[in-house]
Amino acid sequence: MKYLSYKYSPDIKRMYILPLSDTHFGDPTTNIKKLRGYLEWVREKDARIILNGDIFNLSDVAGREDADMLNPNEQLDIAVDIFYPYKDLILGVTEGNHDRKLRKETQFDIVHEFCQRLNIIDKYDRTSVLVKLSFGRDYKGRTIHYHLYTTHGWGAGRTKGSKVNNMGLVSTTFPLFDVYITSHSHFTVGYQDIVKIPRDNRDGEIIERKRTFISSGCFVNSEYGERLGYSAVKQGTVRVRLDGTRKDIHFSM
């Protein structure tokens, strides 16, 4: 777990976050054109990026049936080439299960090397990244703070319901974050709920806190999942908008 805090101008009216995961560089079906389209949107909106695991496919190492189009060195080179122009916009980086398989079998942490080449090693954690964003100001002139929790995720459920349930598990240990970002399932979805918290200094007063859960999708269309009975996936991710004039979160797909 790594905690990172970023402070931005109080004049910012909104901030966009783009979680990117499961690009699986090396898979023959990786849709680099679509990925570049999202990155153009990042530049247009001055958005921030979270890289949430399985940047690399590494299927030969992982023993998967799909043959990689690129070897690990080539996968690393293309990832660096694509993300280097956006390195200053990356808030955090986590490791995915494909990345982890290579590290366990060879002792080589390919995501660590990727972050070294982008000079963002301080933003990398294998398990999770907790991000605090401070910017804007409300009607009383107070800075607005958002807390994001991001981890690659887990689970092999075939149904949409099981994937959504897995998304919610991250709030068990970290119950009061504003945004939770998971990946892994290749399922693009988001939902919100409300938790109610008693105020210590005011008897009988309950605070409501809105939480947003995001699953960031993927950029591949592998036949491997089809052979195991998984649903076809929609390539892409979720765009998150944080308001800079009041505490409010929206997302779109």
Q: CA 89, CA 119: separation in Å to the nearest integer?
A: 12
- 172 phi and psi, to 5 degrees? -65, -45
Residue 230 banded pLDDT, cuts 50, 70, 90: low
Q: d(Cα 77, Cα 58) in Å, to the nearest integer?
A: 13
Instruction: Give 157 or 238, the one with higher predicted confidence.
Output: 238
On the CB side of 53, CA atoms within 13 Å amount to: 28
Q: Per-residue pLDDT for 202 more than 80?
A: no
pLDDT higher at 253 or 227:
253
Q: How confident is the model at residue 66 (pLDDT cuts 50, 70, 90)?
A: low
Q: What digits encode the pLDDT tens for the residues 11-61?
A: 999 999 999 999 999 998 999 999 999 999 999 999 999 999 999 998 765
Block residue for tokens 């994001």 = 148
- pLDDT value of position 62: 47
Place of tokens 């399922």: 187
- Decide the pairing of beta strands 239-243 and 249-252: antiparallel
pLDDT at 108: 94
CA distance 191 to 120: 30
Alpha-carbon gap, residue 75 to 140, rounded angstroms: 49
CA distance 113 to 116: 5
pTM over 0.85, yes/no: yes
Give 98-150 pLDDT, tens digit per residue.
999 999 999 999 999 999 999 999 999 999 999 999 999 999 999 999 999 99
Per the model's pLDDT, the better-predicted residue between 123 and 199 turns out to be 123
Averaged confidence pLDDT in the chain: 91
Q: Say whether pLDDT at 187 is over 90.
A: no
Domain limits of the chain? 2-252
Categorize the per-residue pLDDT at 199 as very low, low, confident or very high, splitting at 50, 70 and 90.
confident
Instruction: For residue 159, name the pLDDT band (cuts at 50, 70, 90).
Output: confident
Least confident piece of the model among 1-15, 84-98, 156-170: 156-170
Q: Which fold has domain 2-252?
A: Purple Acid Phosphatase; chain A, domain 2 (3.60.21)
DSSP state of 116: H
Question: 223-250 b/e with 16+ CB inside 10 Å = b?
Answer: eebeeeebeebebbbbbbbbbbeeeebe
